Amino acid sequence: MRVSVVGSGYVGLVTGMGFVKLGNEVIFVDIDYKKIHAINNAQPPIYEEGLEELMKKFKGKYHATDDYREAILNSEVTFIAVGTPSREDGSIDLTYVKQASREIGKALKEKKDYHVIVVKSTVLPGTTEEVVKPLLEEYSGKKAFKDFGLAMNPEFLREGVALKDFLNPDRIVIGVQDEKTKKVLEELYRPINAPKLITNIKTAEMIKYASNAFLAAKISFANEIGNICKKLGIDSWKVFEGVGLDHRISPHFFRTGIGWGGSCFPKDTRALIKKAEELGEDPMILKAVVEVNERQPLKLIELLKKHVPELRGKTIGVLGLAFKPDTDDVRETRAYIVIKALLEEGASVIAYDPKAMENFRKFYPDVGGRVEYASSGEEVLERTEVLLIVTEWKEFEELDYSGKIVIDGRRIKAAEKNAKIYEGVCW
């Protein structure tokens, strides 16, 4: 099938290249010329394992453009995968989704054949039918579900293993109204062997929010228990290993540490809270989930001060800046909160991350410019006695922590074994 994908970020690019791998041809649309240029040179503008190889292998089967008309007229189905960030007050910012809908609508006006538009961006229940659909109809002069198809197909991939997740998902959720659209999506996803759940559009939108909120809650819950365990001298990882053996609970995604960050959980839980409040609900659990998570990274500073009471004038090493390993994404990374607190206490920071240093510097100008960046984990260890572990990159297992004070937010076994003084945040 010929597919177009609007927005070539973590989700758009991975989805598009996944479809290419499954034998489709893909046109990416973006407004960022650097990204367009990179994609057209088979260079991924983001870091994701396997992406570069895939882009090299299938060069010629995809290209990127800023021209919506070209993309819509030369494809049968268009995915909207633009960002849906938070506004200042936590509510969802639909600026990019609206822009994309208007541009797709204009191009759709000229299209003779049936075209299917699929919202893949994470949007609150009601958005596809109440925001996207009216804009598509207004700008195309056509009717949804009659002249063109419309669906909502949330994405569940995890950054760091995004391609693998896209091609081997736990499930595919397809929110549709009309039969023709359902057929197109079933055909497109046929090669993927996973349960396919067909729902109405609003339900598909809600499944994504409920999933993210639940996962965020699972971690905040573990951390709350973990903090109690720490005070009692109990290893919370063992506790959750034991808890997870209950088949109703599942051991996956059930580890304690310094909490969740990234481009999804924080903004999606906030958006759901805001939506609930608009509806006159008081989402007490969701609010607590967020609050626990905001405090959790500061546990690292609390534990650090147990061993180094005065931070002023000290150099503290920070290992890891990405919000999780195997990605260069620093959105809502716990590293920001930790480093900001260190700088406020008058400490100097030397940090290292295998992929995310450039992004960290750019993304957090208030803090990023005051950090010294090392060229390796070894260099951080050479330059300081005191280390905080913020992201669990595999290579941090290879470092020699002997003689060091290590406060660990993620559990690096080599540090636990060899450091002079070692504190795990919840163990």
Task: Give the residues lining the site for ligand NAD (CB under 6 A).
Answer: 6-12, 29-32, 35, 81-84, 96, 99-100, 121-122, 155, 157, 159, 263-264
Identify which of residues 122 and 227 has a Cβ nearer to ligand NAD in the complex: 122
CB-based closest residue to ligand NAD: 9
User: Rounded CA gap, 268 and 419, in Å?
Assistant: 38
> In this structure, are strands 116-119 and 77-80 parallel, antiparallel, or unpaired?
parallel
User: Rounded CA gap, 243 and 363, in Å?
Assistant: 38
Q: How many CB atoms lie within 10 A of CB 149?
A: 24
Q: How many CB atoms lie within 10 A of CB 245?
A: 10
3-state SS, residue 35 = helix
Contact 289, 387 (CB under 8 A): no
Identify which of residues 9 and 320 has a Cβ nearer to ligand NAD in the complex: 9
In the numeric block, the tokens 């919506």 are attached to 68
Which candidate in 264, 349, 381, 419 is catalytic? 264
Contact 1, 188 (CB under 8 A): yes
CB of 245 to ligand NAD, least distance (A): 29
Which has the closest alpha carbon to 290: 221, 360, 229? Answer: 221
> In this structure, are strands 149-152 and 172-176 parallel, antiparallel, or unpaired?
antiparallel
Task: Report CA-CA distances (Å) from 260 to 138, 321, 334, 340.
Answer: 40, 13, 7, 17
For 199, the enclosing helix (H) or strand (E) is strand 196-199
Q: How many CB atoms lie within 10 A of CB 259?
A: 26
Q: How many CB atoms lie within 10 A of CB 185?
A: 21
Identify which of residues 212 and 256 has a Cβ nearer to ligand NAD in the complex: 212
CB of 244 to ligand NAD, least distance (A): 23
Identify which of residues 29 and 374 has a Cβ nearer to ligand NAD in the complex: 29
Bridge partners for 197 per DSSP: 173
Identify which of residues 227 and 327 has a Cβ nearer to ligand NAD in the complex: 327
What DSSP designation does 419 have? B
User: Rounded CA gap, 358 and 363, in Å?
Assistant: 8
Contact 72, 4 (CB under 8 A): yes
CB of 98 to ligand NAD, least distance (A): 8
Which has the closest alpha carbon to 123: 271, 255, 305, 270? Answer: 271
Identify which of residues 47 and 148 has a Cβ nearer to ligand NAD in the complex: 47
CB of 207 to ligand NAD, least distance (A): 12
CB of 32 to ligand NAD, least distance (A): 4
CB of 84 to ligand NAD, least distance (A): 4
Identify which of residues 89 and 282 has a Cβ nearer to ligand NAD in the complex: 89
User: Rounded CA gap, 49 and 17, in Å?
Assistant: 12
Q: Would you give the end-to-end CA distance of the chain in angstroms?
A: 51
Q: What share of the chain is helix, strand, coil (3-state, %, to 5)?
A: 45, 15, 40
CB of 46 to ligand NAD, least distance (A): 7
Active-site residue flag, 229:
no
CB of 38 to ligand NAD, least distance (A): 11
Positions of E strands within 11-94? 25-29, 62-65, 77-80
Identify which of residues 9 and 283 has a Cβ nearer to ligand NAD in the complex: 9
Q: What residues are annotated to the active site?
A: 264
